[in-house]
Structure 1
Amino acid sequence: MPNRKAITFNEHCKITLNEFDSKSLKIFTLDHGKEFADYVYLESNLKVNVYFADPYSSWKRGTNENTNRLIREFFPKKFDFSTITQKEVDIVEGYLNNRLRKCLGSPPFRSI
């Protein structure tokens, strides 16, 4: 994104989410960055529920933060997603969705 303005973020979300099935995304969990100031737009126009993490409590978003880290192993920050196919995204998604995770009730691979 060229800036961290709420209107810019919302426009990027609108463009990006229009490419997906509307049933795919139901919830946004955000922090308190200024780009999220107009979260009501997301709720009303994109039909998603928006929740905010408590400030200075990143541990409450542990699974989310861990998942972001796992995604970054495949797609580093500033990665240009226009350079890959949906099939490539689906492969990574399948890998991550089928990965055993202790926090989700499954032991990590090393303990199996």
Structure 2
Amino acid sequence: LAKRLEGKQVWTNAVHPGFVNTNISREFLSNQGFLTKSIIYIAKALFAMNEDDGALTSLYAATSPEIEKEDHRGKYFEPIAKLGMLKPFATNQETASRLWKWTEDLLNEKLGI
């Protein structure tokens, strides 16, 4: 997307919010046993960020003047608001083309666009 929007006044980036203590796993956990639930709850209590901190990386990517100033396009941000390193598969043009085509096909199939 960043390549397709190059030269436009649009900055697109990927964001990983991190391990955030939310209820997003509620449905998954409802089908798990006591041990799995216990491990997840303990891990969340010990290591997960609160929801406010978990939102910071997304907010940074969406609102920080540094994104435009530093011309961060097609970058990857990780907690908290740090520029991360892209894995080789994330910059592979063949993979990107296949993913773009798959996404277009899926949107066409599901939404008719």
* Bigger Rg, which one: 2
TM range (shorter): under 0.3
> Structure 1 length normalisation: TM-score?
0.25
> Structure 2 length normalisation: TM-score?
0.25
